[in-house]
Amino acid sequence: METATETAVSLGRSRRRRPGEPSPREINREQRFEQILHAAYVCFTKKGFHSTSMSDIAREAGVSVGHLYNFFESRDAIVEAFAQRELDRLRKMDEFYRESNFTQEERCRRSVYGLALTKLDKTAARLTFEILSESVVNPRIRQAVKMYNAAWHEMLLPIYMESGRLSRKEAAVRMEADLSLVDGLYFRVLGNEDLDKESLARKVADRIWRSLTGESEA
């Protein structure tokens, strides 16, 4: 007589995948992809982008170098994958905000607060400076940086246009000025060990919203 475990296994084997459902092989590949990206981030933050080799990343990920090259042909391709993942994440976040019927103020404050917190991560800040330096001489990395910036512009520009009642050109200039303030957080976090990051991120979000709408600060 078949045991409950054997029955479950049998049913699992016989179940057909739903349309659009990824196969176990596809799931495994996606997991490996994320595993390699995580390993690359660990290596980049420990040794620096320039000092990290593909062998280092493979070792950290627990895969062979040959297997690593099945996913990425170079460190540049890995940075591109980071930028694409950030783009996908921001689009999903913006979609969630819209579907949840957040007000313009809530969307602006939440978005800027989240962006500010990423700038206040000291480890990420050090890596970002190195990547930005590389982008000056490396067109492929420069394109990845542009993709990352474009992701934030795509989400924030409509908020600026609608909340500030600005033309697209005016909104773009205002947004760039405000993002320059946010980018300055990289320098603050590297030079100050005692920052209250959450309070600072909230203050930046508040200032940007008030600047956008013309409200005076309380």
pTM: 0.76
Count Cα neighbours of 136 within 13 Å in the Cβ-side half-sphere.
5
Among candidate residues 28, 31, 36, 73, the one with its CA nearest the CA of residue 56: 36
Local structure of residue 17 (DSSP, 8 states):
P
pLDDT at 211: 82
Which DSSP string corresponds to 169-197? HHHHHHHHHHHHHHHTHHHHHHH-TT--H
Burial status of residue 4 (CB atoms within 10 A of its CB: 0-12, 13-18, 19 or more): exposed
CA dist 153 and 191 (Å) reads: 27
pLDDT at 22: 56
Q: Which domains does the chain have, with CATH numbers?
A: 23-73 (1.10.10.60), 75-218 (1.10.357)
pLDDT at 14: 47
Per-residue pLDDT of the chain (218 residues; tens, 9 = 90+): 545 555 444 444 445 556 555 555 655 888 999 999 999 999 999 999 999 999 999 999 999 999 999 999 999 999 999 988 888 888 898 888 888 888 888 988 998 999 899 889 988 888 989 999 999 999 999 999 998 888 888 888 988 888 778 889 998 998 999 888 888 898 888 888 788 999 999 999 999 998 888 776 65
What amino acid is encoded at 148 in this protein? Answer: Y
Give Cβ neighbours of residue 148 (< 8 Å, ≥ 6 apart): 83, 86, 87
